[in-house]
Amino acid sequence: MTEFIRKQTANAKNDILSGLTVALALVPEAVAFAFVAGVDPLVGLYAAFMIGLITSVFGGRPGMISGATGALAVVMVALVAEGNAMGAEGENLGLYYLFATVILMGIIQMLAGFFKLGKFVRLIPHPVMMGFVNGLAIVIFLAQLKMFKVFDGTDFVWMHGTQLYTMIGLVLLTMGIMFLLPKLTKKLPEALMAILVVSAIVIFGKLDVATVGSFIKDGGGEGLKGGLPHFQWDIFNKVPFNLKTLWFIGPYALILAAVGLIESLMTLNLVDELTETRGDTNRECLAQGGANIITGLFGGMGGCAMIGQSLINIKGGGRGRLSGITAALALLTFILFASGLIEKVPIAALVGVMFMVVIGTFAWSSFRILNKIPLSDVIVLVSVSALTIIFDLAIAVISGVIMSALVFSWENAKRIRARKRMREDGTKVYEIWGPLFFGSIIAFNDKFDVKNDPQNVEIDFVESRVSDHSAIEAIFNLVNKYEAEGKSIKLKHLSEDCKVLLYKSNPKFREVIVEAVDDPRYHLAENPEAFTKGLAEYKL
């Protein structure tokens, strides 16, 4: 226990200061996403607090920040609107359908963690990861541009004149402090100090600029202040628990669960790279799911990992669970006791912090490598970036993985080879090289000349593997063709796993597969330790 506490508090100062910075940056984000989803700002703030706290304590990636996110809010808009239409005017039934959906979303995410599906994040190729990072940086940048609009009484319009110049000046000042302060001292968190300095200038200089308070009120909210979240008994009273409800909320819950897990696991991967440590993907799935169940029951809008806030935390020195816990508790403190002070923080300071996050997030190295990597990877990288901006993260990542998989399959399909030779006894041997799967079976079939081949034929698989059902069918059809011509065919040097596949598919393979093995290459291929030993002896 002592060792655990020592590890958690080893970076305590940086964790606490970084956590406070993150808490300040969480406020306008959570409020904005609540407006996007069509719910009260406190619903977004409660989600940021509860999800942030639970995932920080139980999650698989210390230092990663979770809360209400835009990727989920966009999906929730239609859900809330459709739910409101089912009830009487003013009943706000859509909110309770949202809570029920978030609970179901959490259950799905916990099942993903229980069945250890988090490991599949390893299948995401690096071009997809770079495209995701670049696209998300652009999305964060575009989201900040909305902060340059003001409410004129009827609609939001772009700032102009002195108001615009003041906003730009404060944003640049924030960015300048964050850029220069680390060069002078690394003991002070640059983001927090920038926010404090710019806030002091605005408050004591009595500058007329947009603040967190004005942002909330312009969006239709009444203010930041609220109480502790409480259990939402009305979910069970207002939402009928039947198949009709499940049919309505089920698709939304699946989409939200998928988007939430993809964004969380991608962010986890990014934080892993930045900190040169390794998080636990399955534990993160369980924590995200549990957090969403709790936040749904206590009146939150649900959420997942937040890449912008996670990067603020990492760059501010936050590495442990204490940073996320501090951010969550500080956010709750703001809601309960310090709402008046937080509402005075200028939006320009927070925009400046987020612009620095954009600069740090974007993979600038991608421009240098565009002419050094395969064209297919360039297309994937650019496509994922574009799809992240146009649609959302889930569509972009899934599309990128599919594109990469198709490219990989096509490249491997072209690698199937067959070396042909004749033995002294007149037997023709086909030595197959490369993977045999659905993409390569046409090229595989083209290698054989059934009509003109001699009476005895052998197919040697020592340098090949049978990968799927398409490959099994191709081999079975080839055997039948040779036997239809009255010729003898034997399959040699199949690995044990390949033989198991073939025997299970059809007992006929037991007649044509040669079990006796007399080729040392086969033994080396089957036994990696023997291969390593043989290689070492060869070098000696």
* Cα 426-430-432 angle, rounded to 5 deg: 165
Tokens of 447: 């290698």
Determine how many CB atoms are found less than 10 A away from the CB of residue 67.
Answer: 33
* Cα 36-353-213 angle, rounded to 5 deg: 50
* 323 neighbors 22 (Cβ within 8 angstroms): yes
Q: Is 490 buried (19+), middle (13-18) or exposed (0-12) by CB count in 10 A?
A: middle
Got the DSSP string for 228-245?
Answer: -----THHHHHS--SHHH
Integer Cα distance of 322 and 329 in angstroms: 10
Query: Could you report the average pLDDT of every consecutive run of 10 residues in the chain (540 residues)?
Result: 54 88 83 76 90 95 89 82 83 90 96 88 83 83 84 81 93 93 81 89 91 78 78 89 91 88 87 88 95 95 88 86 94 87 86 84 87 91 89 80 90 88 92 92 92 94 90 94 94 88 90 74 50 46
Q: What is the pLDDT of residue 360?
A: 80
Tokens of 66: 């979770």
Q: How far is CA 420 from the centre of its chain?
A: 47
Domains along the chain with CATH numbers: 8-144+154-221+242-385 (no CATH), 415-539 (3.30.750.24)
* 141 neighbors 362 (Cβ within 8 angstroms): no
